[in-house]
Each structure stands twice: as C-alpha cells, then as structure tokens.
C-alpha cells in the first residue's frame, strides 16, 4: 500500500453518507480487472469499489506468494490431494450435497476430511458421478483450526474487517472459510451474511459467478415474497409464480480463473458454479463503508420476525425479547450484541488514536496493528461511521424496549467518548 499517498489524502475521507449503496447496474455488465499489484493502492480500492459498492477482479499476481497456491496445487493446476491429506487428513469438515434442496439451501453433514478426499477422487474417476450425489466442502474454518499453517495472507484491501475483528475478540466464531469441490458443485442463490462484503480467491480451478446488484433481488421473488433457489431455473419465466421476473436485469457474469480474487459488493445476491475441480478461500467482512447496510438488514430481519409472531404480542410479556432471540437464532446476532460489536470496533480505534501502538502490538497480526497500518484518518472515518449507526441504534424504539442495564458503557457514554476522540484526532 502507498501509505504516504493514503495519509496525505485528507479529502479522501470525506463523509460518504450521501454516496449510493443501493441498486447499481454496471454498463454492459462490465467488471474491472485489476492487473498490477504495484500500481493499485488501498486508496484506489476504497474510492472506486468499497464506497460505490462495485465488484472487481484481482489478477493472480495478488495471490502468487500464498503458501496454498504453492503447495495445494499440482504442477498441472489440479488439487494436490496427497498434500492436503498429509496436512489435514484427520480434520472433520462440513460438506453439502448439491443435488438435494433443503429449504433454500443444500443439506450439510460433517465428514472426516480424508473420507471427503477419497469421495472426490472416486467422483472424478466415475466421470463426475456418484450415488452419494455431488458433495461440496463448504464453510470450513480452516484458519481457525490450523492457525500454524502457511495458507494465505489477507490482502491489505480487505484488512479493514470488522466482522472478524469482533468475533476474534470474543473468541466465538469467524467468517474466514475454505471451499473445496468437484466440477459441477455449486452454491444456490443468496446474499452474504449480514449483507456483508465478500472476497473469494481461487487457489485452483475456475468459477462462474452470476451477480445481481443490490435491489435486483426484489424482481426475482415469487408471489409469496420468496427468493428462488436456482436463479437459472425455467420456472422463473412463469409470471403467475414470479410476477416481476421480466423487470429484472440480466446478471453480471464473471468467470474467475485460478489465482484470481473476486470482490463481491455488499448486498449483491449471487449464484456460483465450479467449472472445474476448485479450491477457494473466502472471507465475509463489514467495515465503515457498509456497516449502515448491516444495520438496515438487522432492522428488516427484526421486522420480519415481529410480523411472524405478531399474534402473540399481547399475551406474551417478554414479546420484544422473544423477537430478539428468534432473530439471533436466524441471523447470528441481536440488537444488544450489535451494540457490543460497535463498541469493540470503536474502542480499538479510540485506543490507537489516544495511545498509539506499542512495539509488541505493531509486530503482531492484531486488529490494532491493522488499524495503525491504514492510518489515523481511516480510524477517524471508522469512528464517524460508527457514530452514525450507534446514534440510530440508540434512538431505535425496539432497542430502547430492551433491558440495557447490562451494556457497559451505556450507549450515551460510548457516543460521547466517540465524538470526543474524533474531535481530538482532528485538532
């Protein structure tokens, strides 16, 4: 990253609250291809892709020094099954059956990794057929299970990652995944968790992506308001079932080659196919550029829960709490945890602004080191965005109905500290 350029670009961190984060159609379905590492800065990515919420593709040059690209792939570009078995053979992994529909996804089971690799080898030998169906290893938290392995380094463009910063801090979960699947495996139509950004790097193999800009999914819903399982299914042409399908735009189509990274904007629905035997590394992440989208998503999710159980509102004394519990079971977070999420993100940045970074912390791969790398102005930008969302959360009637006495510090005190830190940093 060109730190000098970044640090001097004060105007770069103007308040982008007026920028459009909604539906966007790229002219002719064009997606920018970023070729050279040395000429593409974090500032370029922030300005041209994060803020306007546009997709892009990074060339294989951005991943050529990753350990997984050296060791997980054979000389002819295929998955190196022997190496993978040697390193991870005893692991237990989540595997989906692409041939079976369960609600709007595929059913999953836990399998020993060595069993999955043996299945994959047989699947290839049998011309990509099996009585077990097409099995796809998905959402494997490999980095968490094998932190000592030299797999990859997160590119600086994706380093402002609030989701993993928070879930690492509470040591509960993370949103870093490995996917491995044979030719023909696929992921049904969906948008990513919390309407987050995602990046996906092919270690080997090729993928086809069908992308729909945020808002386009509304035209793809059936008359009950449900999204399709397979956006390519002929049934979508039936106007009696999908009355607005003809108003939808064609998807933006990407073919991703080995080594390339695809950036998927916040709230863009997509469907993905493995065109060859493929291994990929995926992250979901939220930051100051799209945290407001996450907050809107949570409000929509709570409203949907409230509609579903509205008949129980009067007889149930703790109805509002029950709505929060149901929302958390469906989405993974409720309003009080969202407050704690914002608090952790804010306090990390306040700490760097007020106290700097000691030598020990700067030498480690820590959130505060990443904050320091991106610079003071980025930390201020993050705090400004946090203030806006926290102000909205604090004023939200459903949030105020909860027992907030357990929140420390109280929302008003955290907001005051945030605003004071911003003012001091800008003096």
Q: What is the 3-state secondary structure (H, E, C) of 383-417?
A: HHHHHHHHHHHHHCHHHHCCCCCCCCCCHHHHHHH
Give pLDDT, residue 358.
60
Cβ-count burial of 311 within 10 angstroms (0-12 exposed, 13-18 middle, 19+ buried)?
exposed
Give pLDDT, residue 5.
32
The reply to whether the predicted model has a pTM over 0.85 is yes
Give pLDDT, residue 317.
77
pLDDT bin (cut points 50, 70, 90) of residue 341 is very high
Kindly report, residue by residue over 344-354, the tens digit of the pLDDT: 999 999 999 98
CA distance 133 to 96: 10
Of 300, 308, 203, 297, nearest in space to 259 by CA: 203
Pairing mode of beta strands 32-34, 56-58: parallel
Residue 68 CB: number of other CB atoms within 10 A?
23
Give pLDDT, residue 88.
98
Percent of the chain with pLDDT over 90: 85
Kindly report, residue by residue over 37-90, the tens digit of the pLDDT: 999 999 999 999 999 999 999 999 999 999 999 999 999 999 999 999 999 999
Cβ-count burial of 340 within 10 angstroms (0-12 exposed, 13-18 middle, 19+ buried)?
middle
- The shares of helix, strand and coil residues in the chain, as percent rounded to the nearest 5, are 45, 20, 40
Cβ-count burial of 222 within 10 angstroms (0-12 exposed, 13-18 middle, 19+ buried)?
middle
Of 277, 273, 260, nearest in space to 76 by CA: 277
Do 233 and 157 form a contact (C-beta atoms < 8 A)?
no
Kindly report, residue by residue over 121-177, the tens digit of the pLDDT: 999 999 999 999 999 999 999 999 999 999 999 999 999 999 999 999 998 889 999
Give pLDDT, residue 379.
95
Residue 391 CB: number of other CB atoms within 10 A?
14
């Amino acid at each position: 990253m060109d730190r000098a350029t970044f640090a001097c670009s004060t105007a770069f961190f103007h308040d982008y609250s007026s920028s459009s984060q909604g539906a966007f159609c790229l002219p002719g379905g064009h997606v920018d291809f970023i070729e050279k590492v040395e000429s593409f800065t974090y500032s370029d990515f922030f300005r041209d892709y994060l803020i306007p919420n546009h997709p892009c593709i990074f060339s294989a040059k951005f991943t050529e020094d990753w350990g997984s690209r050296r060791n997980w792939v054979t000389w002819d570009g295929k998955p190196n099954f022997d190496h993978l078995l040697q390193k991870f053979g005893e692991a237990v992994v989540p595997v989906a059956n692409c041939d079976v529909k369960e609600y709007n996804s595929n059913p999953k089971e836990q399998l020993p990794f060595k069993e999955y690799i043996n299945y994959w080898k047989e699947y290839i030998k049998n011309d990509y057929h099996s009585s077990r169906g097409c099995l796809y290893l998905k959402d494997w938290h490999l980095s968490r299970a094998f932190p000592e392995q030299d797999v990859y380094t997160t590119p600086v463009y994706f380093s402002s990652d609030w989701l993993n910063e928070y879930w690492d801090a509470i040591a509960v979960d993370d949103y870093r995944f490995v996917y491995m699947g044979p030719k023909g495996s696929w992921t049904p139509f969906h948008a990513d968790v919390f309407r987050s950004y995602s990046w996906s790097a092919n270690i080997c193999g090729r993928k086809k992506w069908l992308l729909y800009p945020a808002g386009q999914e509304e035209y793809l819903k059936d008359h009950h308001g449900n999204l399709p399982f397979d956006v390519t299914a002929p049934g979508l042409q039936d106007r009696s079932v999908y009355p607005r399908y003809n108003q939808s735009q064609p998807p933006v189509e990407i073919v991703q080659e080995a080594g390339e990274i695809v950036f998927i904007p916040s709230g863009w629905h997509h469907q993905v196919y493995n065109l060859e035997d493929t291994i990929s590394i995926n992250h979901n992440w939220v930051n100051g550029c799209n945290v407001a989208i996450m907050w809107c998503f949570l409000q929509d999710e709570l409203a949907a829960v409230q509609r579903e159980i509205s008949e129980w509102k009067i007889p149930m004394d703790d109805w509002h709490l029950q709505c929060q519990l149901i929302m958390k079971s469906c989405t993974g977070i409720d309003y009080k945890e969202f407050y704690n999420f914002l608090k952790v993100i804010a306090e990390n940045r306040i700490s760097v602004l007020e106290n700097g970074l000691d030598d020990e912390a700067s030498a480690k791969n820590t959130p505060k080191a990443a904050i320091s790398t991106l610079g003071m102005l980025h930390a201020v930008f993050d705090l400004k965005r946090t203030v806006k969302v926290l102000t909205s959360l604090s004023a939200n009637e459903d949030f105020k109905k909860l027992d907030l006495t357990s929140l420390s510090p109280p929302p008003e005190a955290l907001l005051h500290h945030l605003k004071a830190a911003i003012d001091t940093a800008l003096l």
